[in-house]
Amino acid sequence: MLICYQLGEEPDPAKMPLETLDFPSEVQVAFFIFGFLEDIWDGMSGSYMGKNWNNIEYLFNLYEVDEPRTMLYIMKMWEGILVAHRVDKAEKHKKAEQRRSAGGGKNFTHNVKG
Dump pLDDT digits (tens) for 12-47.
777 777 788 888 999 999 999 999 999 998 888 888
Residue 15 in any domain: the answer is: no
By residue range, what is the domain housing residue 28? 23-102
The model's pTM is: 0.68
Answer yes or no: is 114 within a domain: no
- Where does the chain have alpha helices with state H? 2-7, 25-34, 56-62, 68-102
Total structural domains within the chain: 1
- Asked if pLDDT for residue 63 goes beyond 90, the answer is yes
**64-93 mean pLDDT:** 92
Q: Does a structural domain hold residue 3?
A: no
> Measuring CA to CA, which residue among 20, 17, 16 is closest to residue 31?
20
User: 40: which strand partners?
Assistant: 50
